[in-house]
Structure 1
Amino acid sequence: MNETDIATFWDRLTNIGAGLLGTDNGAARMVPMSHQLLEGDPTIWFITARDTDLAEAVEHGVQPASFVVAEGGKGLYAIIRGALAQNKDPALRDALWSTVADSWFKRGKSDPDVGILGLVPDSAEVWLTPTSGLSFAFNVVRAKVTGEQPDIGSHGTLTQADLVRRRAAA
């Protein structure tokens, strides 16, 4: 994937609200999670309760994990693998806090059950597809007429260097 594709990946990921997050070793099953990105930071952040399988799985150290995103309307399908860890920094919690997070915790961001998890990506298998059904339909019809394969977007594997370098430049 080229630099434009990598930038598109981060842009689309920013505009998708949730995906499935779980540990690769089975310590925590995949569950729907909303995520946030901070400018220039390749870490994908999650706010969760400390008593969830995910939070408990990383309570004593970093775990290999995967975050799966499938959003046809945004034209992004991805499996993002990396290291999942807890972060107890109150300044980070404040930076990530939102109205949505506030609705889950009775005492707001000061609730002792608030947990922050960060996934530092080391690779991503990414499919970028047209973001409109009309564009996809046009490509299929054009392929039928020309006899060529339809252009359904781009696909590739991003390395940790790709992910960190491009996200830091954003």
Structure 2
Amino acid sequence: MSLSNAEVRDRLWKAIEEQNTGMLGVPGDGHHYQPMTGFVERDTNTIWFFTRRETDLAETIASTGGAEGSFIFQDRKLQACLDGRLTLEHDRERIDRYWNAHVAAWYPDGKGDPALTLLRLDVADAAVWITEGGLLKYAFEVVKANVGKSTPDVGERRDLNLN
């Protein structure tokens, strides 16, 4: 498999759009990463997340005016670590655009909840691993690597600069 950077970037955004959920955090801030649902805007390399103002993550970002953050994403065929600048933004238009039944379940006071806000991740770069072939290919590659004293060929790793 040999994919262009554009193809890897397209697969990355498509995977996040389809699965939405990963782990978001600020490296080294003393808190664990937390599961978050992301809403992708491909044209600006931005991911938006709903949150409450009083969460550890939102308070860390608010106290510093923004922070370097990471979103860790994984599905069956793609794993990625996306890094960029996290900011806290109360964007009414995006709240309306991305609001759905899943989001509403976490905010019983609805869109008007005064604690409701958004986190914006402006993605600068990403490390992406793409795996093709599924479990049988993986098992074959592991056996082949052990017999041949090599390493398994289970896919491709790519570093993307999204600036």
Shorter-chain TM-score: what band? 0.7 to 0.9
CA separation in 2, counterparts of 1:91 and 1:100?
Answer: 18
How far off its partner does 1:140 sit? 4.1
Matched, 1:63 2:81: no
- Which aligned pairs between 1:56-135 and structure 2 lie closer than 5 A? 56-60=59-63, 61-71=65-75, 73=76, 75-130=77-132, 132-135=134-137
Match of 1:160 in 2: 162
Q: For the residues of structure 2 that align with 1:116 and 1:27, how far apart are their CA atoms?
A: 21
Alpha-carbon distance in 2 for matches of 1:94, 1:5: 30
- Higher mean Cα deviation, 18-27 or 62-71? 18-27
Q: TM-score of the superposition, structure 2-length normalised?
A: 0.84
Q: Which residue of 1 aligns with 2:29?
A: 26
Number of the residue aligned with 1:4: 7
Length, aligned pairs only: 159
Q: 1:51 to 1:131 in 2, by over 3 A?
A: farther
Distance 1:56 1:68 in 2: 20
Identify the structure with bigger relative contact order (alpha carbons < 8 Å, sequence gap 6+): 1
Instruction: Give the unaligned 5+ runs of structure 1.
Output: 162-170
For residue 16 of structure 1, report the CA deviation from its aligned partner: 2.2
Whether the aligned pair in 1 keeps the contact of 2:13 and 2:42 (CA below 8 Å) is no
Which stretches of structure 1, 4 residues or longer, exceed 2 Å deviation after superposition?
38-41, 134-151
RMSD across aligned C-alpha pairs, in angstroms?
2.3
Q: Tell me: CA distance 1:148–1:27, structure 2 relative to 1, closer, same or farther (3 Å).
A: closer
Question: Quick one: distance in 2 between partners of 1:25 and 1:148?
Answer: 35
Corresponding position: 1:40 with 2:43: yes
Q: What is the deviation of 1:8?
A: 1.4
Residue 167 of structure 1 is matched in structure 2 by none
**3-state SS, counterpart of residue 101 of structure 1:** helix
- TM-aligned CA distance change 1:131 to 1:92, over 3 Å: farther
Shift of 1:157: 1.1
| TM-score, normalised with respect to structure 1 | 0.81
